[in-house]
Chains A and B, each alone.
Chain A
Amino acid sequence: MKKKVFIPVILLILLEIVIVILFYQDSGISIRTEYHKWSIFGISFHANTMLMEWLVSFIMLIPGLIIGFKVKNVLKKLSQNQEVELSDYIPTRLQSVTELLVEFFDDLTKSTLKSRGRKYFPLIITLFVFIWISNMMGIFPSFWQIVKTPDGKPFLEWLEFAEPTRDLNVPVGLMLIVIFVVHGSMIKEFGIRGYLKSYADPIFLLFPLNVIGEIAKGISLAFRLFGNILGGAIIIIVVSSLVRYIVLPPLLNAFFGVFVGTIQAFVFSMLALTYTAVALADVIETDEEENKPLNEEDL
C-alpha cells in the first residue's frame, strides 16, 4: 500500500526537478518593502493590504450568512406551521465547524471573565477569526491585477496574496482596538478616578513604571504578530528561492503559514482576553463573591 503512494510522489519530485533545471531563471529574491498607495482625503492607504483585508472580511461573512439563512428558513417554516424535514435539523459540516469554534471561544471567555464573558465574546472571536484568515492568506497563490502607472496608463501587476498582518499598520490597528477596549472598560467600571488610581498600584512611586508597562504591552502585542508573520513570509520566499522551489515550499508553508499563523492568532486573542481579565479583576472577583449566576437570557 505504501509503495503505491511513494512511487508517484517520487516521480512527481523528479519531474519537478527536471522542469526546474530546464526552465528555471534566477530572478533574484525580491522582498516587497514598497506598497501601492491610494490617497483618500490626504490619508494614504496601502492598496494591497486594503484589498486583502476586504477579502478576509468577506470570507468571514460567508459561514455566518449561509448558516443564518438556513436557520431563518427553518424558523419561518415553524412559524407558518409547515412541515420541517429532518434534514433541516441536521447540521452541515460548515455549521458543525462554526459551532465548534463559537462554543470553544464561548467557554474560554466565560471561564476567564465569568459573568461578563458574553459581553467580550464577540470581540475576542472576531479578533481570532480575522487574524487567522489573514495569516492563511499567504499560502494561496497569487494572481494578476490591473493598476495604473504614474503616467496614468493601465498596467498589469502581480497581486500578491499577502497576509495583511504582514503590514505593520494592521497589527497596530488591531492592538489599538484591544487597548481602547481594555482601558475603556476600566474607565467604565471604575470611573476616571479609579482608573488613574490603578496606575498608582501598589504604591504611588510605581506610577511611571506602570505607564511604561502599559505602553510596552501594546508594542509587544502588535510586534509579536507582525514579526512572526513577516518573518515566516520572508523565510518562505528566501528558502524557496534557494532550493529552486523543489520539495520544501509546501512544508515551509505548512509550518510558517498554517501552524505558526494559527498559534499567533490564538495568542493574540488570548492576550486580548487576559489583558481585559486582569484589568477587570476586581469587578469579576466581587461578582464571584456575590455569586452572581450566569443568566443566559439576561446576557
Chain B
Amino acid sequence: MVEVGDWGNFLKFLGAGIAIGLGGLGSGIGMGFSAEDGVKGISIQPGANNEIFKTMLIGQAGTGSASIFALVIAIILVFIGTPSDLNQAFAYLSAGIAIGLGGLGSGYGAGLAGKAACEAAARQPRFNNTFLANMLVGQAVVQTPIIFALVVSLILIFMSFPGGDLITIGALLGAGISIGLGSIGSGIGTGMAAEDAIKGMGKKIEESGNLLKIMLLGQAVAQTPTIFALLVSFILLFIGDKGNDLVRFVAMLSAGIAMGAGAIGPGIGSGSAAQGAAKGVSENPEATPVVMRTMLLGQAVAQSTSTYALVIAFILIFVVK
C-alpha cells in the first residue's frame, strides 16, 4: 500500500479549494443577474421600489444556496482529519470536484429565475407575491442538479473506501466528475426554462397556472441528463472493483468524463426547448397542448446524445476488461 502522508492533505485541501472556488462562480454570476434586473426595474418603476427590492433579495438568497452547499463541503473538507489511505484522499478530491462543478450550473440557472422575477415585478408590482412563489418553485427545481452533486459528495466523504488501488481511485474520480460536469447543463437549462416562464407570468398573470405547469414539465425533462449522470456516479461508487489494472482505471475515469461531459449539451439544449415552450405559451395560451407535445418530442431528440453517452459509459464500466 502507498504511504499517504502529506499527499492526503494535499488532495483534501485541493478538493476544498475546487469546491468553493468553482461553486461560488455560478452563484456569483447568478446573483448579479438578479441585481441587474432589480436595478433596471427600479429605474423604470421607482414607485414599486419595495416590491422589486424584496424580490431581488429573495432571488439572490435562493441563488446563493448553490454556493452555500459548496461552502458546506469545503468546510467539511478543511476540518476533517487527514485521510488514512490513498483512496480516501482521492474521494475527498472527487467530492470537491463534484460540488464545485455542480454549483456552476445551478447557481447560474437560479440567477436567471431571479432575474425574470425582478423583471416581472417591475412590470406588475401588484402580483409580486405570485412571482415570488413561482420563482421559489422554479429555483427549487433548478437546485436539483446541485442536490444530486451534494449527495454524491457526501457519500464520497462519509463512506469508507479502504485501500489504495488504481481501479477504485478511477471509479471515485469518475463518480465526482460525472455528476459534477453532468449537472452544469441541466442547471443552466432548467434556469432558462424558469426564466421565460416567469417573464411570461409578468406579461399575462392570468396564465400563471398554465405557465407553472409548462415550466415544471420542461424543467423535469431537462433534468434527465443529470439523472443519467447520477446513475453512472452511483454505479461507479458502489461497483466495488479492486485492482491495479491501468486499462480498467482509465475506463472507470473516462466513463465519468463521458457521461458528465455528454450531459452538458443536452441539458442546455432541452432547457432551451422548455424556454421556447414557456415563451410560446405566454404568447398564445390556446396552443398549450400542441406546444407541450412538441416540446417533449424536441427534448427527447435533444437528449439522445446523452443517451449515447450513457451507453458508452456502461460499456466502459461493465464490458472493458
CB of B224 within 8 Å of the partner chain: yes
Instruction: Collect the chain A residues with CB atoms within 8 Å of residue B223's CB.
Output: 220, 224
B72 contacts A by Cβ under 8 Å: yes
Which A residues lie within 8 Å of B137 (CB)? Answer: 263
Given contacts A212-B307, A242-B76, A270-B216, whether A234 and B227 have CB atoms under 8 Å apart is no
B296: chain A residues within 8 A (beta carbon): 274, 278
Residues of chain B within 8 A of A281, CB atoms compared? 293
Cβ-based interface call for A43 (8 A): no
Residues of A189-217 contacting chain B, CB below 8 A: 209, 212-213, 216-217
Mark interface residues in A217-239 (1 if CB within 8 Å of B CB, else 0): 10110011001101110110011
Q: Which residue of B lies closest to A230 (CB)?
A: B151
The answer to whether B148 touches A216 (Cβ under 8 A) is no
Interface residues contributed by chain B, number (CB under 8 Å): 37
**Given the complex of chains A and B, what is the CA–CA distance between A126 and B151 in angstroms?**
29
Counting CB contacts under 8 A, is B144 at the interface? Answer: yes
Task: Give Cα A263–Cα B144 distance, bound, in whole angstroms.
Answer: 11
**B residues less than 8 Å from A232 (CB atoms):** 147
Interface size on A, residues (CB 8 A): 34
Which residues of A lie under 8 Å from residue B162 when comparing CB positions? none
Q: Is the CB of A235 within 8 A of B304?
A: no
Given the complex, which residues of A lie within 8 Å of B301, measured CB to CB?
A: 209
Asked whether A277 and B158 contact (CB < 8 A) given A219-B231, A231-B148, A231-B151, the answer is: no
Interface string of B128-159 (1 = CB under 8 A from A): 00000000110011001001101100110010
CB of A112 within 8 Å of the partner chain: yes
Query: B230: which A residues are within 8 A, CB to CB?
Result: 223, 227
Q: Does residue A271 face the partner (Cβ distance < 8 Å to B)?
A: yes
Report the bound CA distance from A188 to B145 in whole Å: 37
Contact A260:B140 (CB < 8 A) given known A213-B300, A234-B154: yes
Q: Which of B144, B297, B310 has the most CB of A within 10 A?
A: B144
Q: Is the CB of A220 within 8 A of B224?
A: yes
Question: 18 A-B residue contacts at CB 8 Å?
Answer: A216-B224, A216-B303, A219-B227, A220-B221, A220-B224, A223-B231, A224-B227, A231-B147, A234-B155, A235-B151, A238-B158, A259-B140, A270-B217, A271-B221, A274-B217, A274-B296, A278-B296, A278-B297
Report B's interface with A, CB cutoff 8 A. Answer: 72, 76, 136-137, 140-141, 144, 147-148, 150-151, 154-155, 158, 213, 216-217, 220-221, 223-224, 227-228, 230-231, 289, 292-293, 296-297, 300-301, 303-304, 307, 310-311
